[in-house]
Amino acid sequence: MSELPLTTVLGGMVAVPCIIVITQGSDKATKIFAAVGVLLGVWIALRRHVAFIGDITSNGLFDVLTILSLAVAIVLAVRHKQPVISTLLITAGGLLSLMALGLVG
């Protein structure tokens, strides 16, 4: 049985709630932030599995992407106001940021 890296799982935890926010969002700004969240989540999740993404993503860029995912998660949690989606977004974004800072391994 193959194992998934934690970054793949957490990237999916950022992308999937953002897709839900795109479908449920009422205003254009929320949908744009959610689309950015989907792009960040997919980029983070596929970094180790797609050679092209892995080649162009340095460690510094990966750190910036993970911290941006936390910022987008916080903005979406404030704008969308649905507790379950907000919890998933902030948890995944926070753990990715902590991993990038080297506090969680």
pTM greater than 0.85 (yes/no): yes
Question: For the purposes of burial, counting CB atoms within 10 Å of the CB of 97, is it exposed (0-12), middle (13-18) or buried (19 or more)?
Answer: buried
Q: Is residue 82 part of a domain?
A: yes
pLDDT, one tens digit per residue, over 36-51 is 999 999 999 999 999 9
Domain that holds residue 88: 6-100
Residue 1 — very low, low, confident or very high, per pLDDT cuts 50/70/90? Answer: low
Distance CA 37, CA 28 (A): 14
Q: Is residue 105 part of a domain?
A: no
Q: Is residue 81 part of a domain?
A: yes
The structural domain count of the chain equals 1
